[in-house]
């Protein structure tokens, strides 16, 4: 079975579909947000539109042409101005008499309020959607990486040493612009497009004389379309995260080739994915959208590591205990949970007992115009002010002196509080320190700075411990 390539193909595809299932669950939760938003907006618009069809108003086509000429398709005021500027046909004249009447003024105010509500609702959805997406990806990255290592070791039948997921991989994947934009930007674009479409529907309803029922149906369809786009985004991004975590595991194991696996069924994209099925590529040359999933939105393809006999011989030597001469085995009967407990968690516990401090490389504080620009809010406990590092400098002499992988555990209340407030695994929070140049109200001052960090969520709670000059 360990040499049965068909078995490993099927298993890899199952792993991919497990990831897609997790993405679908998250998408279902997000879809509920859109459903609630639609119901909320429908309730808000009650009384704004008539119960029955009006005898005046523009056709849908006329109203859309009018909005196309307006300075803002999502503004009732811009629509009314466009109405004044348009040719005064009979339908336009009749509609102007209604909307410019004193009796209609209150309805115009309600429509303006609906416009504001649409923007606020979609901003709230964006924040919740971003949090759900990020939480899923933060879980997928370490899970996919470790399961890939596990599968590789099972295929080889040996348990060789390896490095676990590092913060740089988490950061790189979460901030990737592999498709031109980061997922957070795409989510924002979708929610803002939904907001504009909702506003447009609100105004079209006023110009064409739609009933409350017709407006409710129009809003339902607008929000449903937004939820479909949201589902596509999280499904496609999940495939990217899963595949790149796989590739990172292969690089860690010094595996140089992979096979493209297309999901061969009636839904397979024959022109793109079907032609790649079974082809072998170099790991160093992998590129999403070219020779590596996702090749397109909704892509369900995956990849399989290629293990050569020479590679297995090398890893067998790597897995041999130098003291006993024993080779650690990973049989097919071993579950992922058993492997994780025996080889991953045990090694993590051992390393945490071996280190007094963990030295970290210097961190560059890039300038604002750089694509990699990042700075931190640093609390001065003496005054309560917040400062930042001087751009273009480095945080030097960085080290972890307490917490995960050191001899000095964090106070349980501290690590549990950090996990509850910020996120991450409470057992993996670390207390760190380093020296950096602080921009203190325009003055460059050197200080020792402390902070907390956890690999899946980043660095938080920077504060000045002491001034060094």
Q: What is the mean pLDDT of residues 120-147?
A: 94
Q: Which of 201, 37, 179 is nearest to 122 (CA)?
A: 37
Q: What is the mean pLDDT of residues 198-202?
A: 90
Q: What is the mean pLDDT of residues 7-28?
A: 94
Give the Å distances, CA to CA, from 202 to 35, 105, 250, 266: 17, 16, 52, 40
Q: At what angle do helices 167-174 and 212-252 cross, to 10 degrees?
A: 140
Query: Is residue 147 within 8 Å of 123, Cβ to Cβ?
Result: no
Predicted local distance difference test score (pLDDT) of residue 264: 62
Sign for the CA dihedral angle at 306, 258, 165, 11 comes to: negative
Cα distance between residue 379 and residue 255, in whole Å: 45
Sign for the CA dihedral angle at 453, 458, 459, 461 comes to: negative
Predicted local distance difference test score (pLDDT) of residue 353: 45
What is the per-residue pLDDT across 150-194, written as a single tens digit (0 to 9) for each? 999 999 888 887 888 888 888 899 999 998 999 999 999 999 999
Instruction: Please report, rounded to a whole number, the percentage of residues in the chain having pLDDT higher than 90.
Output: 50
Strands (E), 301-370: 302-305, 358-359, 363-364
What is the per-residue pLDDT across 63-113, written as a single tens digit (0 to 9) for each? 777 767 777 767 888 878 877 787 888 777 777 777 777 767 888 888 888
Close Cβ partners of 449 (under 8 Å, ≥ 6 residues apart) = 378, 395, 433, 434, 435, 436, 438, 462, 463, 464, 465
Give the Å distances, CA to CA, from 48 to 82, 99, 206: 21, 12, 9
Cα distance between residue 366 and residue 203, in whole Å: 46
Q: Which of 174, 301, 187 is nearest to 234 (CA)?
A: 187
Q: Give the tokens for residue 341.
A: 């407990």
Place of tokens 């079974």: 278
Predicted local distance difference test score (pLDDT) of residue 317: 65
Where is pLDDT greater, at 131 or 53?
131
Predicted local distance difference test score (pLDDT) of residue 270: 62
Burial category of 419 from C-beta neighbours within 10 Å (exposed 0-12, middle 13-18, buried 19 and up): middle
Q: What is the mean pLDDT of residues 377-399?
A: 92
Of the listed ranges 199-208, 233-242, 292-301, 388-397, the least confidently predicted one is 199-208
Asked if residue 45 has pLDDT above 50, the reply is yes
Of the listed ranges 118-127, 189-198, 404-413, 453-462, the least confidently predicted one is 404-413
Q: Count how many residues are written for the chain.
A: 469
Helix (H, G, I), strand (E, B) or coil at 305: strand
Asked if residue 271 has pLDDT above 80, the reply is no
Where does 157-211 have alpha helices with state H? 167-174, 183-208
Give the Å distances, CA to CA, from 224 to 22, 128, 148, 195, 221: 20, 17, 36, 12, 5
Predicted local distance difference test score (pLDDT) of residue 112: 87
Predicted local distance difference test score (pLDDT) of residue 350: 44
Question: Quick count: other Cβ atoms within 10 Å of Cβ 157?
Answer: 18
Close Cβ partners of 265 (under 8 Å, ≥ 6 residues apart) = none
Give the Å distances, CA to CA, from 375 to 365, 366, 453: 6, 8, 15
What is the per-residue pLDDT across 286-334, written as a single tens digit (0 to 9) for each? 999 999 999 999 999 999 999 988 888 777 765 666 556 677 788 878 8
Q: What is the mean pLDDT of residues 421-431?
A: 91
Helix (H, G, I), strand (E, B) or coil at 206: helix
Query: Is residue 195 within 8 Å of 219, Cβ to Cβ?
Result: no
pLDDT range class, residue 121, cuts 50, 70, 90: very high
């Amino acid at each position: 079975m360990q040499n049965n390539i068909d078995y490993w193909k099927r298993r890899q595809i199952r792993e991919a579909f497990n990831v897609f299932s997790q993405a679908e669950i998250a998408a279902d939760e997000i879809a509920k947000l859109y459903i609630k938003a639609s119901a909320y907006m429908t309730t808000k618009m009650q009384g704004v539109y008539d119960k029955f069809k009006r005898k005046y108003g523009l056709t849908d086509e006329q109203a859309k042409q009018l909005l196309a000429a307006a300075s803002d398709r999502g503004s009732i005021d811009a629509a009314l101005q466009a109405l004044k500027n348009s040719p005064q046909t009979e339908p336009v004249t009749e509609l102007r008499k209604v909307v410019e009447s004193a009796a209609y003024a209150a309805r115009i105010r309600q429509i303006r309020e609906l416009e504001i509500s649409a923007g606020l609702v979609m901003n709230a959805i964006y924040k919740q959607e971003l949090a759900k997406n990020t939480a899923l990806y933060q879980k997928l990255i370490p899970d996919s990486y470790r399961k890939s290592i596990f599968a590789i070791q099972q295929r080889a039948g040996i348990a060789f040493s390896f490095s676990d997921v590092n913060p740089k991989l988490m950061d790189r994947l979460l901030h990737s612009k592999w498709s031109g934009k980061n997922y957070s930007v795409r989510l924002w674009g979708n929610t803002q497009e939904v907001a504009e479409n909702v506003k447009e529907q609100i105004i079209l309803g006023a110009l064409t004389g739609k009933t409350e029922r017709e407006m409710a149906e129009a809003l339902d369809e607008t929000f449903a379309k937004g939820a479909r786009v949201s589902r596509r985004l999280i499904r496609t991004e999940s495939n990217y995260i899963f595949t790149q975590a796989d590739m990172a595991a292969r690089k860690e194991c010094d595996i140089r080739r992979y096979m493209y696996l297309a999901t061969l069924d009636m839904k397979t994209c024959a022109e793109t994915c079907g032609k790649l099925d079974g082809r072998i590529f170099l790991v160093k040359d992998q590129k999403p959208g070219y020779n590596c999933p996702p090749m397109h939105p909704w892509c369900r393809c995956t990849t399989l590591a290629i293990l050569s006999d020479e590679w297995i011989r090398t890893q067998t030597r790597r897995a041999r205990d130098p003291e006993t001469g024993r080779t650690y085995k990973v049989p097919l009967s071993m579950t992922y949970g058993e492997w994780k407990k025996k080889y991953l968690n045990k090694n993590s516990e051992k390393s945490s007992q071996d280190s007094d401090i963990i030295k970290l490389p210097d961190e560059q504080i890039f300038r604002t115009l750089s694509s990699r620009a990042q700075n931190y809010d640093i609390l001065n406990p003496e005054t309560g002010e917040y400062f930042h590092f001087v751009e273009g400098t480095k945080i030097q002499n960085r080290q972890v002196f307490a917490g995960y992988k050191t001899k000095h555990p964090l106070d349980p209340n501290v690590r549990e509080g950090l996990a509850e407030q910020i996120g991450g695994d409470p057992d993996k929070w670390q207390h760190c320190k380093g020296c950096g140049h602080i921009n203190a109200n325009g003055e460059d001052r050197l200080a020792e700075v402390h902070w907390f960090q956890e690999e899946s969520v980043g660095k938080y709670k920077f504060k000045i411990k002491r001034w060094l000059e």
